[in-house]
Structure 1
């Protein structure tokens, strides 16, 4: 019987790498860029592999009977041991790929224990492999003068070596099964790696393109250019690969670059509209400031009429409005000039902040200028017909009293007390209108408004309580 010499290792393993370990190996090499080293045991046993796998060349068989049978049994044991050695070797190589996948992605204590456990298994594999190689070298089954007793001893040693190889292979299989969760996690991260890096690169390209377009329109966008330039070193590290910087760190870096680049792109695309909006706000706020200057000049005549027709308590708090309005408008115009300069220099955050300050100044001035005219109108109305204000307030009180009594024979004291106080307060306010020739109408108006606010609070409390009770 002539045995075929073993093929080179790469040809032996190629069909098996179509399985899951081969996919893992491809993923690891492509994504992480790790160089898989050959197993230590193969380096030591390379010289003896042909002899271990060979079934012997063409030989003549002598003897017969018991001798031939012993030689055949020994040869069968040798072939079985070679097959077991081959299966263990292949399983170890496949598992090494899984271990390197895990350790390349995961630096946790659990992953470090995995590597240590695999090294311990490797030493056990070296031991049983050495026994197998020793048994193969110790017996030349092709000798013409092979004795039956020697063949029997060879069969026993080779069978024992095979059994140990099988047992260690089973240990290796059980160990591989225990790696399921860690390996799935590592493979998931590896599957994310290449797309994440590519998305980051594309985001940087899109940001650069958007920035070029903005600059082409005459906008400098220096702050955006600086932010984009700051991402350059990050891109360099992405290009260096996960093999140098680690998978988790590379994933985090890719996500960070993607987020920052997309922010730069979005701001660059909005920049022309931001410039146009800044220009519109400059014009609008300048027009508003000019209008307020005109309106401020009308406050003094209003104050004169208030002084002439009503008591000091009705207008004293408005005395400083003309001066305050003029000062606020002056400050607004100075801030507008600063905003115009910031816009011309394309300092967009500064321009936006200054315009917000201008708007706040003009809003407060507008309220103060309007307050004088509103005060005069309110006082004129109540002086002409105070009964309308009184009835309005009494109606609010009566409406709240009806709500407080709804479904009850007596009101809740928590509701009745503030409503009774509101009635008394209104009567006192009405009484002030009969004091002297020039009643303090402003005090009367503030009192009636306070009464209505109190009543509104009681109504809100009643509705909240009844709503919470499902009524």
Structure 2
């Protein structure tokens, strides 16, 4: 064989290889007519089913995020039902996805020897899978639309989460600063410090996040921490003024106790005059006022001393409570001491001329009688009976003044009782007529 023959020999072999290489790898046979059309139809059905599968999978993943958001925030029956319905959709999607995957795996559309009948079956099964995937997608979309209110509510709460937690942290920081400023001014605030320290574990849970404790619980905790820390901050800022107020009250109540001591010493001369001029019934209930006043003032002074010690030790709640006790004791003493003088004044007035008290009481009864008769021929027995009793009681009290030593105090209390009875009838009539108007 010569050199020319060696050079030309490979050329027919190259011509045989090149067409196969351009045909797609040298292994597929080219089909024409009905067979190739069936393969193309099956491939188109496969592509359409793949697109439907992708759309359904994307919709399911997006909706799962919404469901997880709802469940994290909302524990209502509606939220629980939404989660259960989504799980049911998940099972249905698994079924149609399995149908699709089975159809894809059953046919190799790239096989050279794929028969037209097999391609037709593949097209039918893949089309059915695509339709099932599409129906599931439509139902899932309708379900997602129905979740709109729940999603909006959950997203609103999630939008509140970060600001609420930050607000709680900032309020805690402000409370800490206010407490440090108070202590720097030389004031104790142990109770406030204790309350602030108690919020430490709550802050730790806030920092752990909603992923661990839930959105709803975290929101509640943030609001609670902010509220409690704000209360501590406000009280810390008021503490200097509170200390000054306690100092003012100590001085004022001490002065008042001293004044009451002087006034209580004047009760005995008043009682002496009452005994001399009026019957025992007019003053017997006042006999122990001087002793009781002295004892009550003594108790008040002891509480004042305790309040002073509490102030010096900066036990602010104790000092405030003790001062309130002192005020109550002095109020009761003031009332008792005043009662003796007031009793003598009223008895003097009625003894001199009881007519003003009688006319005042008769006017109250007549006014009630006029109201009871307004718009009626005869009064309602429920109104007339107590008014008749009041008139009889008034007459008896007036008649009792004719005796040699009238009980003026009994007379005064009877007049008050008659006026009260008339006032009750008036209130009853007005209430009944008001209800009738409605």
TM-score, normalised with respect to structure 2: 0.82
Higher Cα Rg, which structure: 2
* Separation of aligned partners in 2, 1:94 and 1:419: 80
Kindly indicate whether residue 414 of structure 2 is the aligned counterpart of residue 447 of structure 1: yes
Tell which deviates more after alignment, 373-382 or 449-458.
449-458
The structural deviation recorded for 1:208 is: 2.4
Name the CA shift for 1:466/1:126 in 2 (closer, same or farther; >3 Å).
closer
* Separation of aligned partners in 1, 2:302 and 2:355: 48
Tell which deviates more after alignment, 413-422 or 307-316.
413-422
Kindly indicate whether residue 194 of structure 2 is the aligned counterpart of residue 226 of structure 1: yes
The structural deviation recorded for 1:410 is: 3.8
Which residue of 127, 133, 146 corresponds with 2:98? 127
The structural deviation recorded for 1:170 is: 2.4
1:223-278 Cα shifts (integer Å, max 9, x gaps): 22212211111211121122222223222222322332233233333333333322
Give the match for residue 421 of structure 1: 389
* Separation of aligned partners in 2, 1:352 and 1:266: 17
Which residue of 250, 253, 264 corresponds with 2:218? 250
The structural deviation recorded for 1:106 is: 4.6
State the aligned residue count: 409
Tell which deviates more after alignment, 368-377 or 70-79.
70-79
Kindly indicate whether residue 132 of structure 2 is the aligned counterpart of residue 164 of structure 1: no
Report if aligned partners of 1:343, 1:351 keep a CA contact under 8 Å in 2. Answer: yes
Which residue of 110, 123, 132 corresponds with 1:140? 110
Name the CA shift for 1:158/1:244 in 2 (closer, same or farther; >3 Å).
farther
Give the match for residue 395 of structure 1: 363
1:346-375 Cα shifts (integer Å, max 9, x gaps): 323222222221111111111110011111
1:174-223 Cα shifts (integer Å, max 9, x gaps): 13432433544433433332233223223322322332333333332222
SS at match of 1:433: helix
* Separation of aligned partners in 2, 1:72 and 1:102: 45
* Separation of aligned partners in 2, 1:452 and 1:80: 96
Report if aligned partners of 1:389, 1:448 keep a CA contact under 8 Å in 2. Answer: yes
Tell which deviates more after alignment, 439-448 or 232-241.
439-448
Which residue of 426, 429, 436 corresponds with 1:462? 429
Give the match for residue 88 of structure 2: 117
Matches within 5 A, 1:278-297: 278-297=246-265
Report if aligned partners of 1:85, 1:162 keep a CA contact under 8 Å in 2. Answer: no
The structural deviation recorded for 1:325 is: 0.2
Give the match for residue 277 of structure 1: 245
Give the match for residue 15 of structure 2: none
Matches within 5 A, 1:331-410: 331-410=299-378
* Separation of aligned partners in 1, 2:62 and 2:378: 87
Report if aligned partners of 2:390, 2:418 keep a CA contact under 8 Å in 1. Answer: yes
Give the match for residue 186 of structure 1: 154
* Separation of aligned partners in 2, 1:94 and 1:388: 89
Give the match for residue 12 of structure 1: none
Name the CA shift for 1:167/1:391 in 2 (closer, same or farther; >3 Å).
same
* Separation of aligned partners in 2, 1:63 and 1:178: 46
* Separation of aligned partners in 1, 2:373 and 2:93: 88
Root-mean-square deviation (CA, aligned residues, Å) is 3.0
SS at match of 1:272: helix
SS at match of 1:218: coil
Tell which deviates more after alignment, 245-254 or 109-118.
109-118
Report if aligned partners of 1:193, 1:251 keep a CA contact under 8 Å in 2. Answer: yes
1:357-399 Cα shifts (integer Å, max 9, x gaps): 1111111111110011111111221222223323333333333
Give the match for residue 400 of structure 2: 432
SS at match of 2:68: helix
Name the CA shift for 1:411/1:68 in 2 (closer, same or farther; >3 Å).
closer
SS at match of 1:329: helix
Structure 1 runs not aligned, ≥5 long = 1-55
* Separation of aligned partners in 1, 2:391 and 2:195: 65
Tell which deviates more after alignment, 439-448 or 84-93.
84-93
Report if aligned partners of 1:282, 1:355 keep a CA contact under 8 Å in 2. Answer: yes
Give the match for residue 212 of structure 1: 180
Name the CA shift for 1:82/1:387 in 2 (closer, same or farther; >3 Å).
closer
Report if aligned partners of 2:53, 2:97 keep a CA contact under 8 Å in 1. Answer: no
SS at match of 2:402: coil
* Separation of aligned partners in 2, 1:296 and 1:396: 36
TM-score, normalised with respect to structure 1: 0.77
Name the CA shift for 1:241/1:169 in 2 (closer, same or farther; >3 Å).
farther
